[in-house]
C-alpha cells in the first residue's frame, strides 16, 4: 500500500527542501514551497507552531520578529492577526541577490492551507516546534493528518528535537515515520543533546544502546553536520546509525562540497535550502 511504498522510498535518498526552497525565496511561503517542488524536492520541510486560537502555523521561529513585520511570540496572536503580516519583504532586504518584488507581502500559512494546496501529491516533513509551549500540538497535528488521509497515503514524516513529542506522536499513530533530530554542540554554551532529547550528548560517545532507544519509536535520526563551521559527525556515526536500523537525514547542507561528502558517507537524505543544487550533485 501507499504507506509501505513510502517506507520503501525512504530507503532511497531524499531531497528535503528546508523551509521550502528557502535559499531562493522567503521561507515557509508559497514561492518557497512552489519552487522546492518545481526543483524536484522529495519532501517539503515545515516547522509548525500554534497561534493563540489553536491553528497550526508554518513558521520556524517562536517569534514573528525575524521573518515578518510583526512582533512577539506566534502563540500570542490569533490567525486573523497573523494573516495580515508580511512574511516576504525581510527576505528581499536580507538577500538582494535573490530578491523578487513578488515576494513582498507573502503571507504566513497554516498547515491547513498548505495541505489544501498540495494535497496527497506532495510529501511533508513536519517538525513539531517548542512542544512545551503547545501541549496540544501533537494531538492537533496527528488529528489533522489523519482526517486528510495523509498518514495512510504515505505523505508525511514527523521530526522533532523533542523525544517526548515524538513518543506522543508514536502513541497517537504508530504508522507515522518519525525522525529524532539531534543537535551536537561541542561548546558548553549550547544546549547539550541530553537537554534536547535525553540521549547521549556527544557523537563520539553515542552508543548502540542510545541508538536502540531511538529506534524504539523512530525510523531515523537527523543530526546537524557542522558546529561553528566544523563537522561534528563522520562516516562512523552514519555507519553506526545504519547498523542500528536508523536512517540518517542531515541538516542543513547548502554547499555542494558538503553534499558530496555526505553522499559519499551514504546518508539517506539531506535538508537543504537549495534543492536544485542537491539535485545537480545527485546527477553528477
DSSP assignment, residue 47?
E
Residues 45-64 that bind Ca ion (CB under 5 A): 47
Does residue 43 belong to the site contacting ligand G3P (CB under 6 A)?
no
Interface with ligand G3P (CB under 6 A), residue from 127, 148, 219, 268: 127
Catalytic residue chosen out of the listed positions 60, 77, 170, 249: 60
CA dihedral 20, 26, 29, 32 (to 10 degrees): -40
Which option in Ca ion, ligand G3P, none does residue 259 bind, with CB closer than 5 to 8 A by kind?
none
Closer to ligand G3P by CB, 89 or 130: give it: 130
What sign results for the dihedral spanned by CA atoms 162, 164, 165, 170? positive
Q: Can you say whether residue 54 is alpha, beta or left, with left for phi > 0 and alpha for psi between -120 and 50 degrees? A: left
CA 275 to chain centre: 14
To ligand G3P, the closest distance from the beta carbon of 222 in angstroms equals: 6
Find, among 166, 89, 165, 93, the residue nearest to 132 by Cα: 165
Distance between CA 6 and CA 2 in Å, rounded? 6
Which option in ligand G3P, Ca ion, none does residue 220 bind, with CB closer than 5 to 8 A by kind?
none
Does residue 181 belong to the site contacting ligand G3P (CB under 6 A)?
yes
Q: Contact region for Ca ion (CB under 5 A) — 29-37, 127-135, 171-179, 274-282?
A: 127-135
18 catalytic per annotation: yes
60 catalytic per annotation: yes
Interface with Ca ion (CB under 5 A), residue from 22, 68, 88, 127: 127
Closer to ligand G3P by CB, 88 or 269: give it: 269
Interface with ligand G3P (CB under 6 A), residue from 47, 210, 219, 276: 47
To Ca ion, the closest distance from the beta carbon of 127 in angstroms equals: 4
Residue linked to cell 563520539: 204
C-alpha to C-alpha distances, 185 to 26, 176, 194, 202, 223, nearest whole angstrom: 27, 29, 11, 8, 11
CB neighbours of 100 closer than 8 A, spacing ≥ 6? 25, 31, 92
Does residue 42 belong to the site contacting ligand G3P (CB under 6 A)?
no
What is the pattern of x (binds ligand G3P, CB under 6 A) and - over residues 146-175? -------------x----------------
To ligand G3P, the closest distance from the beta carbon of 128 in angstroms equals: 10
Please enumerate, as own/partner, the contacts of 147-152 that have beta carbons within 8 Å and a separation of 24 or more. Answer: 148/115, 148/120, 149/120, 150/115, 150/120, 150/124, 151/3, 151/175, 151/176, 152/1, 152/2, 152/3
Q: Which residues are catalytic?
A: 18, 60
User: Contact residues for Ca ion (CB under 5 A)?
Assistant: 47, 127
Amino acid at each position: 500500500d501507499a504507506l509501505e511504498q513510502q517506507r520503501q522510498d525512504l530507503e532511497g535518498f531524499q531531497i528535503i527542501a528546508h523551509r521550502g526552497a528557502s535559499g531562493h525565496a522567503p521561507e515557509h511561503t508559497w514561492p518557497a514551497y512552489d519552487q522546492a517542488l518545481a526543483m524536484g524536492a522529495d519532501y517539503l520541510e515545515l516547522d509548525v507552531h500554534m497561534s493563540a486560537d489553536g491553528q497550526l502555523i508554518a513558521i520556524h521561529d517562536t517569534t514573528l520578529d525575524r521573518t515578518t513585520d510583526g512582533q512577539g511570540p506566534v502563540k500570542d496572536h490569533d490567525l486573523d492577526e497573523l494573516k495580515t503580516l508580511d512574511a516576504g519583504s525581510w527576505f528581499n532586504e536580507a538577500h538582494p541577490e535573490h530578491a523578487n518584488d513578488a515576494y513582498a507581502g507573502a503571507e504566513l500559512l497554516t498547515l491547513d492551507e498548505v495541505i489544501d494546496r498540495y494535497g496527497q501529491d506532495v510529501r511533508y516533513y513536519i517538525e513539531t516546534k517548542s512542544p512545551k509551549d503547545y501541549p496540544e500540538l501533537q494531538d492537533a497535528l496527528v488529528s489533522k493528518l489523519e482526517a486528510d488521509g495523509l498518514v495512510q497515503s504515505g505523505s508525511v514524516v514527523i521530526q522533532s528535537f523533542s523525544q517526548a513529542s515524538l513518543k506522543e506522536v508514536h502513541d497517537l499513530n504508530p504508522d507515522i515515520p518519525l525522525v529524532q533530530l539531534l543537535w551536537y554542540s561541542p561548546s558548553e554554551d549550547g544546549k547539550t543533546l541530553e537537554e534536547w532529547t535525553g540521549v547521549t550528548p556527544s557523537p563520539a560517545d553515542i552508543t548502540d544502546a542510545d541508538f536502540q532507544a531511538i529506534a524504539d519509536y523512530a525510523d531515523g535520526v537527523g543530526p546537524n553536520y557542522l558546529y561553528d563551521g566544523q563537522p561534528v559527525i563522520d562516516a562512523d556515526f552514519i555507519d553506526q546509525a545504519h547498523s542500528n536500523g536508523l536512517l540518517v537525514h542531515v541538516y542543513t547542507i547548502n554547499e555542494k562540497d558538503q553534499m558530496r561528502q555526505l553522499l559519499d558517507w551514504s546518508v539517506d537524505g539531506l535538508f537543504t535550502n537549495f534543492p536544485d543544487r542537491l539535485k545537480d550533485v545527485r546527477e553528477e
